Amino acid sequence: METREQWASKMGFILAAVGSAVGLGNIWRFSYVTGESGGAAFLIIYVLCIFLVGLPVLLAEFSVGRRGQSDVIGSFNNIAPGKPWVLGGIIGVLTSFLILSFYGVIAGWVVFFLFSYLTGSAQAVAGGEYADFFVNFIGGAAGPVIWQVIFMAAVVAIVYFGIKKGIELSNKIFMPLLALIILILAGYALTLDGAGEGLSFLFTPDWSAFGDASVYAAAVGQAFFTLSLGMGAMIAYSSYLPKNTKLPSAAGTVVTLDTLFAIIAGIMIFPVVFTFGVDPAAGPALIFITLPEVFNMMGGAGTFFAILFFFLVAIAALSSAISLLEVSVSYVMRQFNWSRKKAALIAGVVVTLFGVPSALSQGGPLSGEIFGLSFLDLVDTITDKYTLPLSGLIVALFVGWGWNKVDALKETGLTDSLIGVVWLWFIRVIAPLGILWILLQNIFG
Ligand code: PHE
Ligand code: NA
């Protein structure tokens, strides 16, 4: 057997993990969930969830991967052979597969918008007509699939080249680029007339929202999604770490940078929304309809900002999607003893095919509803509401209770430290209770 691939440096691992974390979740999902959940009140609860639930679970995932030294299912089996904990790994692999299937579709829309601004066809749309432009595109029979396939081909190509030469290298280029672009855009947004109003929407809480249970559920769901938890991506990435890397500082860095990206994305989007008088609660269409209307109103500069914006989102989505594909690829490599290249191609094709019904479900030929949801929304709901929290819950319980305490602390380098004790109790009690409460609310609410 070949020796397991490894990251070239701790920095490379952190950048890749940040690449996984920073994605559509920070820009597209964060802005519309925040918009729908009332702005600042949601932001406060969200940041609490990130540090009380997200950070401890992220550190737990890192320690499972690094200790397990295998794909997500293999890692659970290596640490606790013959125990039912492996269920957490199985659900994780399934979830990452399902999420990637529709993540590729939405990322394909982003690439289509980028392309349309580059060729000039998006600017040619008249003001007020962007909803039609978007709806016609996603309702097509070929367009959404073609752009999904283009995006997924890029994902497969990167994973194909492996940990160092594919994933680590691409993230070393993408992450500084993302930081630069988002700072330019947010800086510009702050010069707009509506900046004050946008910032107060984001940072001045409406206290009544704190009594609304659904805001908490949305915040925990967003915390999981944004940190790439519950689907094995962070377990897969940390399994390529050498034994001596310090995990707590890596987890802290990833969480901090992901949260900063989300907040800066909010600083970029809400001033624009208020300057041009559009609805902050526009929902998932915010970046595909609302923002293009705004770019249109900006005139010439709009094209420049639109291209930067959609390029930013496309790169963020790409670095997240590769981590999702890596979960399946590392699993089939071990399970079927395939080479990385073969595994990347086959897993990539299968997940893309499974995404096609989602691509065609938004007004296209497969728009029939199942349980009142389109196929895309169904897959999104199943993962976001049920399998993600479930797999996160299992990871937390596994590291907190299933794994012996000494090993868990040793793996994270937190033996005999106060932080270690605090972390252990967060993983044992606080995070599981928080997740369980959300899960029950999602099931019965
Ligand atoms: N964290 C990513 C985002 O915020 C989404 C994602 C989830 C990526 C799971 C990889 C794994 O967009
Ligand atoms: Na994120």
3-state secondary structure of 336: coil
Report the candidate in 201, 179, 170 with the shortest Cα–Cα distance to residue 265: 179
Residue given tokens 């040619």 in the structure block: 124
User: What residues contact 388, with CB distance under 8 A and at least 6 apart?
Assistant: 95, 221, 224, 225, 229, 230, 231
User: What residues contact 351, with CB distance under 8 A and at least 6 apart?
Assistant: 97, 100, 101, 104, 152, 325, 328
Dihedral of CA atoms 369, 374, 377, 379 in degrees, nearest 10, equals 70
Mean pLDDT per 10-residue section of the chain, whose length is 445 residues = 84 96 89 82 91 93 95 95 93 95 95 96 90 92 96 98 93 91 90 91 82 83 89 95 92 96 92 82 78 85 91 93 97 96 98 94 84 87 87 93 85 88 92 89 82
Residue of 20, 46, 98 to mutate, ligand 1, most atoms within 8 A of C-beta: 20
For 299, the token pair is 């005139």
Identify the H or E element spanning 373: none
CB 409 within 8 A of CB 424: yes
CB 351 within 8 A of CB 100: yes
For 127, the token pair is 């003001």
Q: How far, in whole angstroms, is CA 48 from its chain's centroid?
A: 18
Q: Is the CB of 216 under 6 A from ligand 1?
A: no
**Cα 166 to ligand 1 centroid, rounded to whole Å:** 18
d(CA 203, CA 189): 16
Residue of 167, 320, 388, 391 to mutate, ligand 1, most atoms within 8 A of C-beta: 320
Task: List 370's β-bridge partners, or say none.
Answer: 373
Instruction: Decide: residue 404, CB within 10 A, 0-12 exposed, 13-18 middle, 19+ buried.
Output: exposed
Q: Is the CB of 320 under 6 A from ligand 1?
A: yes
**Cα 119 to ligand 1 centroid, rounded to whole Å:** 29
Q: Which residues of 82-112 are buried (b: 16+ CB within 10 A; e: fewer)?
A: eeebbebbbbbbbbbbbbbbbbbbbbbbbbb
Report the candidate in 378, 58, 37 with the shortest Cα–Cα distance to residue 225: 58
Give the pLDDT of residue 279.
77
Report the candidate in 17, 15, 28, 96 with the shortest Cα–Cα distance to residue 55: 17
d(CA 410, CA 420): 9
CA-26 nearest atom, ligand 1? 4
d(CA 89, CA 92): 5
d(CA 177, CA 293): 25
Atom 8 of ligand 1: nearest residue by CA position: 320
- The torsion angles phi and psi of 70, rounded to 5 degrees, stand at -155, -175
For 413, the token pair is 């380098």
Q: Is the CB of 235 under 6 A from ligand 1?
A: no
CB 292 within 8 A of CB 116: no
Q: Is the CB of 28 under 6 A from ligand 1?
A: no
For 423, the token pair is 């972390």
Q: Is the CB of 222 under 6 A from ligand 1?
A: no
Task: List 373's β-bridge partners, or say none.
Answer: 370
pTM: 0.93
CB 95 within 8 A of CB 391: yes
CB 423 within 8 A of CB 54: no
Give just the sign of the alpha carbon dihedral 400, 261, 217, 97.
negative
ipTM topping 0.85: yes
CB 57 within 8 A of CB 431: yes
d(CA 52, CA 30): 18
**Cα 102 to ligand 1 centroid, rounded to whole Å:** 12
Q: Is the CB of 23 under 6 A from ligand 1?
A: yes
Give the pLDDT of residue 371.
84
Q: Is the CB of 226 under 6 A from ligand 1?
A: yes
What DSSP state is assigned to residue 401? I
Q: Is the CB of 233 under 6 A from ligand 1?
A: yes
The DSSP result for 55-97, as a single string, is HHHHHHHHHHHHHH-S-HHHHHHHHSTTSTTHHHHHHHHHHHH
